[in-house]
Amino acid sequence: MRTNTAEYLGVRSESARIEFEETWSEVAEKALVAFANTYGGTLYLGMKNNAEPVGVEDFERTARTVLAFARHGVEPDMSRLVRVDPRTLPDGKEVVEIRVLPGDDRP
């Protein structure tokens, strides 16, 4: 039986390729860009840094915001590298899983 949220999501904790953030913010934006500029990674929104779930209020609005940033907030457009999916946890809270592939046009 999985005992915590991170295990349920298939991760143990934050790492170079896994990041937890409570909300979409400048820190989350920087994490997305860092993932694209390195080896890729996954950002979970609606999670405290200790993997405690807080959930997101509106997945659709959050997903649109993330994708708008990926398309218009950085150069070059990185929207083709980003996939945004909802993840519903056993306690009913919904978190946002943002997977980022490594980019071809890295610094």
pLDDT of residue 104: 86
The DSSP code for 55 is -
Q: Who has greater pLDDT, 6 or 70?
A: 70
pLDDT of residue 94: 95
Q: Are 29 and 45 in contact (CB under 8 A)?
A: no
Q: Each residue of 16-60: pLDDT tens digit?
A: 789 999 999 999 999 999 999 999 999 999 999 888 889 999 999
pLDDT class for 2, splitting at 50, 70, 90? Answer: very low
Task: Using alpha carbons, select from 58, 5, 3, 70 the residue that is nearest to residue 33.
Answer: 70
**What's this model's pTM, rounded to 2 decimal places?**
0.88
| Mean of pLDDT over the chain | 89
pLDDT of 14 > 80? The answer is: no
Please give the Cα distance from 80 to 77 (Å, whole number).
Answer: 8
